[in-house]
Amino acid sequence: MLSLLLKWATNGPLDRILTSLDKSIDNETERQKVAGDVIAKYIATEAETRAAAMQSRVFWCVWALFAAPVGFWLGAICLDSVFLFSGHITDLPPSVKPYATQIIAAVFGSGAGVAGIQSIAAAIRGRR
């Protein structure tokens, strides 16, 4: 009698409860997959848009308008600190400092990234 009661409980209500929980988890997983696909497509679209924008001369001219003065300023600071010219070069204004920091990080970050990738590629080629 007890085994019949346990069999009825596990086959009937418990089975339906566990099945509905499985379906709920599967639905949540599908929602996360869809969200992940949307985010991946958005990132790919943004990368394509940026790559297309970087093909334009206007992009590089505007970028140079900001990067050249920051480069001259950074070079002057480096020369002043190495050769002690006592030029009393002041820091950039607080309104410009975040942009200058971002430009310097982009220039040196991209250069360091490319150099790192090239060294890794050279090491891999040397092994083969």
Residues 125 and 63 in one domain: yes
Residues 76 and 112 in one domain: yes
Candidates 65, 87, 66; CA nearest to 76 is: 87
Residues 17 and 36 in one domain: yes
Residues 91 and 119 in one domain: yes
Q: Return the pLDDT at 9.
A: 61
Residues 67 and 43 in one domain: no
Chain-centroid distance, C-alpha 40: 12
Residues 5 and 18 in one domain: yes
Does the predicted TM-score (pTM) go above 0.85? Answer: no
Residues 35 and 92 in one domain: no
Residue 89, domain extent:
57-128
What digits encode the pLDDT tens for the residues 2-57? 666 666 666 667 667 777 777 777 778 888 888 888 998 999 998 888 888 878 88
Residues 121 and 73 in one domain: yes
Q: How far apart are CA 77 and CA 65, in angstroms?
A: 19
Residues 104 and 86 in one domain: yes
pLDDT surpassing 60 at residue 128: no
Q: Return the pLDDT at 10.
A: 64
Residues 68 and 48 in one domain: no
What digits encode the pLDDT tens for the residues 69-125? 888 888 888 888 888 777 677 778 888 888 888 888 877 777 777 788 888 888 888
CB atoms within 10 A of CB 102: 13
End-of-domain residue from the set 55, 84, 99: 55
Residues 27 and 66 in one domain: no
Q: How far apart are CA 52 and CA 100, in angstroms?
A: 24
Residues 95 and 46 in one domain: no
Contact between 103 and 72 under an 8 Å Cβ cutoff? The reply is no
End-of-domain residue from the set 13, 37, 55: 55
> Could you tell me the CA-to-CA distances from 86 to 8, 53, 78, 81, 97 in Å, in that order?
91, 41, 12, 8, 22
Number of domain units in the chain: 2
Sign of the Cα pseudo-torsion (107, 109, 112, 116, in order):
negative
Residue with more model confidence, 127 or 78: 78
